[in-house]
Amino acid sequence: MIPSFRSRTAIPLDTQTAGAGHRGRGRHTVLAAFLAFGMALGASSIAHAADQPFDAWLEGVRAEARQKGISDATVQAALTGIQPIPRVIELDRRQPEFTLTFQQYLDRVVPQSRIDKGRRMMAEHKALLTRIEGQFGVPARQIVALWGIETDFGRVTGGFKVIPALATLAHDGRRSAFFRKELMDALQIVDEGHIDAERMLGSWAGAMGQNQFMPSSFRAYAIDYTGDGKRDIWTTLPDVFASIANYLSRVGWKSDQTWGRVVRLPAGFDAGLAEKKARKTIPEWQALGVRRADGGDLPARDLPAQIVLPAGAGGPAYMVYDNFEAILKWNRSTYFAIAAGTLADALGKE
């Protein structure tokens, strides 16, 4: 859940510099409103941060942190000796405008190698995943799919120290208010003892751990599943899996539904229905001639659904349900949400 303010097409972390795409991992935090939030900030409130020398600006951050109840020990440990990170600004300014087609994106994010690895991970952690699925109502395959797309199952989590990276972006001036809030949340996480500042690593934009939560998402959704007093999304897989499940559960995942399916559209189908995000019940779509990918009848359940055409008219068509919207709250990219559902479906097959 990495906040990207240019591209809403997420690329898996193992094919780019960690944190350059997403959520927006979002790259998680949570990231649906990031762009709107950043644009809504008053220009005057954004401009003043970069007008100050970093050290002087940092004194104000220290004062604010103490006012919020963060201990002096944490403030001193986390904010002493830090300097802006030029590479963070470079990555922020140079986020690519991705031009992948939908099929190229799907091939890159859901390759057979990731499916194979995901199945191995599901088998290896079957007992834990089954227990978490039962508690949160989120399928194990969907938990593992998001884990796989975000960090290649924990392999690529980002090598930036989160607090200096967030301080760099908060001082920069372009999105100061947003990143200053994330910085305060990061300091609170350290103060609560979940991780120390030196080991709080993540992307250049502050997305952390194996599920790439922004600090605000961590505070809202991360789970201490092991009961050791720490919500450890960096190294403790029970906490990683439970945090993913808790996020989806809290944003509206429905345990009795899937996310969507590939469908076949009738000749002359009105593509405007997809563009307008028209919601009809499954039987209503059936009456309009929509069928399963193999030509069979759609399920008879009276559920609301939409048709999504990620590649436009003439490309593949998907019928999506409420759980698709839950995935979109993790990352607002339609490509990402379809990929996450597609990978989950593949992991569920023998």
Give the model confidence (pLDDT) of 3-51 as tens digits: 543 333 334 333 333 332 334 434 433 333 343 344 344 344 444 566 7
Give whole-number Cα distances, 279 to 84, 126, 306, 322, 332, in Å. Answer: 47, 36, 5, 10, 19
State residue 95 phi and psi, 5-degree precision. -60, 130
- Residue of 279, 248, 153, 169 whose CA lies nearest to 209: 153
**Helical axes 54-67 vs 176-191, angle rounded to 10°:** 50
Single-letter code of the amino acid located at 136: F
DSSP letter at 13 equals G
CA distance 176 to 50: 9
Confidence at residue 34, expressed as pLDDT on a 0 to 100 scale? 40
Query: What's the whole-number mean pLDDT along residues 236-257?
Result: 98
Give whole-number Cα distances, 155 to 31, 58, 93, in Å. Answer: 23, 33, 26
Give the model confidence (pLDDT) of 168-210 as tens digits: 999 998 889 999 999 999 999 999 999 999 999 999 999 999 9
Task: Write down the mean pLDDT value for the chain.
Answer: 88
Residue 285 · residue 305 · CB < 8 Å: yes
Residue 22 · residue 2 · CB < 8 Å: yes
Give the model confidence (pLDDT) of 266-317 as tens digits: 999 999 999 889 999 999 999 999 999 999 999 999 999 999 999 999 999 9
- 95 Cβ contact list (under 8 Å, min separation 6): 4, 5, 6, 7, 20, 21
Single-letter code of the amino acid located at 257: Q
Other beta carbons within 10 Å of 113:
9
Other beta carbons within 10 Å of 82:
17
Query: What's the whole-number mean pLDDT along residues 55-61?
Result: 96
Give the model confidence (pLDDT) of 97-112 as tens digits: 667 899 999 999 999 9
3-state secondary structure labels for all residues of 97-130: CCCCCHHHHHHHHCCHHHHHHHHHHHHHCHHHHH
CA distance 286 to 299: 9
- 76 Cβ contact list (under 8 Å, min separation 6): none
- 296 Cβ contact list (under 8 Å, min separation 6): none
CA distance 333 to 314: 20
CA distance 3 to 97: 14
CA distance 328 to 30: 9
Query: What's the whole-number mean pLDDT along residues 225-234?
Result: 98
**Helical axes 112-124 vs 140-151, angle rounded to 10°:** 130
